[in-house]
Amino acid sequence: MRALAWHGKHDVRVDTVDDPEIVNQRDCIIKVTATAICGSDLHLYDGYIPTMQAGDILGHEFMGEVVEVGAKSTLKKGQKVVVPFTIACGSCYHCGKHQYSACDNGLPADNQDIAQEIYGQPMSGLFGYSHMTGGYAGGQAEYVRVPFSDVGPIVIPDGVEDEKVLFLSDILPTGWMAAENAQIEPGDTVAVWGCGPVGLFAVQSAFLMGAERVIAIDHFPHRLELAKKFGAETINYEESAVYEALMVMTGGIGPDAVIDSVGLEAHGFFVDNVVDQIKASTFLGTDRTHSIRQAIIACRKGGRVSMPAVYGGFVDKFPLGAFMEKGLTLKTGQTHVQHYMPALLNAIMEGKIDTTFLISHRMDLEDAPKGYDMFKNNQNEVTKVVLKPGFN
Amino acid sequence: MTESDPRDDAPLSTSKRSDAVADATQHLADGKGSSIVARAVTINRPVGELFAYFRDFANLPTFMENVERIDVLDQRRSHWVVRGPAGKSYEWTSAITDEAQDSFIAWSSEDGADVPNSGRVEFRDAGARGTVVVATILYDPPGGVIGKLIAKMFQREPAIQARRDLRRFKQLMETGEIATAAMNRKQHEEELA
């Protein structure tokens, strides 16, 4: 089959590789009909994520048709499914609590060592996202082997177009969980750093959860326009001073809840960010974190901090004093996708959540390297690239 | 232990004191070995089911990656063939020194073992969370400290192995299978080889 493989920093290629097969009884094989490039794929593309190996197949946002099932899969050939990016067993203690991204059994035993060393406990497996998260081949391919297919993939009713439901795989539940973690109360003002796909879904979700005002922060005018479309007020950090603007806009109180959906590759010419960038490029630190610092400083006293953004390693200059003195609450984590999928599928079907607005580009899988380059270098206009095998 | 012993409630295997191994040896029936490792895992299954599966030693190679085979000789004794670093095999005969149904199994290798070892696997009911399984192993690494380093490089070191084997035991018992990222059966066979 054809698949998008990582070969090094800024080097991804569509290669011909062996087809996947059923290996374990709970597996299924799907024929991919649509897959997307995620903002977090850019962290791999930019070489920020350790334990990548040349030839690793990328992609963790994908859906398709079931073409083969293992003896213990509950799926049927021909069904259309969206696959969660988190690989979770459904049987362990954490899955029982619907903490799917904390699944004990999603990672092969040997791959658990790295996470155990640096995080204390291993997390669930992820598709197409380095060997620390299992080394599973991803979905930017013609076919994918999906483990635990009896608990992961959600079956999509006939006649629903792929683009409407594709984002159930990651960014829609991630934006939703980000808003949920902000513990929004009616009348709240919520500030969202980063108007990428997750941030834009967080904006929509925050309003659905009762926020009175949402303030969206970014520097790409087109992305801010999209946030505005959903009713958010906007701050362009290249035009305005963020903390000062937030203080005036909230009457000196600060936002009740802040959401950092930027993460480890924060842009912007700020002193701390430049220092982080130098450290990251010299391996003295791995994460660049201006947005989370600013969010904590701006948040109102006793407020909530939600951090859907991906961080992988260690940071310094984390404003621990402000965090403690103001009595903030921080909630974060990789998304428990399986937990959110059914309700969000309903919300899409009922027209409560708009998903397709995000897609700016549709391409053939063969053009995936071009898609990465565009997504990386023109983030203003390229909000989401959807790849479809055989599109041309 | 003396009355003024400052020891805490932490497992012996985590002790920073140099005489911890000697203590552990005293605590294990017929203890053998100069290195100690203990690993714990909580498995979301009833204690009876886990004990029964583990006690049938013929089952162990399904999740103990480096165990080539185990020949069960009688109710107490079994012969182990284990893959070591650099393609070498190590063999020994192991005898159960003590056991209690649904509670623990203690064993020790008989004289002439390539890697003298002894240990204890405990099974403890953990209510709604299932069962806590703790494996404590005392062993003499082949080739002493250097052998241990080489084994670690090749990832066949018992401390690493015990942790991974317990994870695989948990996976098998909780999910009915052992997680693998292999894309196809050929890759999977290469992984297991």
pLDDT of amino acid A263 = 67
Whether residues A164 and A181 fall in one domain: no
Whether residues A157 and A192 fall in one domain: no
Task: Judge whether residue B146 has pLDDT over 90.
Answer: no
Decide if B160 touches A, using CB distance below 8 A: yes
**C-beta of residue A39 within 8 angstroms of C-beta of residue A223:** no
Closest CA to A190 of A217, A223, A213, A210: A213
Residues from chain A that touch B129, judged by Cβ atoms under 8 A, are 93
Per-residue pLDDT of chain A (392 residues), as tens digits, is 999 999 999 999 999 999 999 999 999 999 999 999 998 899 899 988 888 999 999 999 999 999 999 999 999 999 999 999 999 999 999 999 999 999 999 999 999 998 888 889 999 999 999 999 999 999 999 999 999 999 999 999 999 999 999 999 999 999 999 999 999 999 999 999 999 999 999 999 999 999 999 999 999 999 999 999 999 999 999 999 999 999 999 999 999 999 999 866 545 444 555 555 555 555 444 455 688 899 999 999 999 999 987 776 677 778 999 999 999 999 999 999 999 999 999 999 999 999 999 999 999 999 999 999 999 999 889 999 999 999 98
pLDDT of amino acid A281 = 53
Chain A residue with minimum CA distance to B64 = A109
Residue with the two structure tokens 């099974």: B123
Instruction: Answer yes or no: do B183 and A145 touch at CB < 8 A.
Output: yes
**C-beta of residue A172 within 8 angstroms of C-beta of residue A353:** yes
3 state DSSP class of A146? strand
Whole-number CA gyration radius for chain B: 17
Instruction: Answer yes or no: do A137 and B183 touch at CB < 8 A.
Output: yes
Whether residues A319 and A352 fall in one domain: no
Whether residues A200 and A116 fall in one domain: no
pLDDT of amino acid B160 = 83
Of B31 and B165, more confident: B165
Domain holding A9: CATH number? 3.90.180.10
Residue A247 buriedness (CB in 10 A; 0-12 / 13-18 / 19+): middle
Residues from chain A that touch B184, judged by Cβ atoms under 8 A, are 18-21, 23, 145
B170, B181, B184: residue with CB nearest A105: B170
3 state DSSP class of A181? helix
CA distance B66 to B32: 21
CA distance A384 to A197: 7
Whether residues A18 and A118 fall in one domain: yes
CA distance A203 to A189: 11
Interval B125-141: pLDDT, tens? 999 999 999 999 888 87
DSSP one-letter code for A121: S
The residue among A312, A332, A352 that closes a domain is: A332
CA distance B71 to B185: 27
Decide if B44 touches A, using CB distance below 8 A: yes
Whether residues A325 and A178 fall in one domain: yes
Q: Could you give the C-alpha distances from B102 to B127, B130, B136, in angstroms and in order?
A: 14, 13, 17
Whether residues A19 and A94 fall in one domain: yes
- ipTM of the complex model: 0.88
CA distance B68 to B90: 10
Residue B1: pLDDT band (50, 70, 90) is very low
Whether residues A136 and A211 fall in one domain: no
Residues from chain B that touch A110, judged by Cβ atoms under 8 A, are 155, 164
CA distance A202 to A227: 10
Our separate counts of H helices and E strands in chain B read: 5, 7
Residues from chain B that touch A126, judged by Cβ atoms under 8 A, are none
Domain holding A255: CATH number? 3.40.50.720
pLDDT of amino acid B151 = 73
Whether residues A176 and A298 fall in one domain: yes
Whether residues A66 and A87 fall in one domain: yes
Closest CA to A202 of A340, A357, A308, A70: A308
Whether residues A282 and A153 fall in one domain: no
Q: N- to C-terminal Cα distance for chain B?
A: 46
Structural domain boundaries enclosing A279: 172-332
Residue B2: pLDDT band (50, 70, 90) is very low
CATH of B13-192, one of 3.40.640.10, 3.40.50.261, 3.40.50.300, 3.30.530.20: 3.30.530.20
The residue among A315, A332, A349 that closes a domain is: A332
Whether residues A188 and A85 fall in one domain: no
Domain boundaries, chain B: 13-192
Angle at B85 between CA B177 and CA B42, to 5 degrees: 35
Looking at the structure of chain A, the number of domains it has is 2
Q: B93 CA to chain A: closest CA distance, Å?
A: 27
Longest dimension (CA), chain B: 59
pLDDT of amino acid B150 = 75
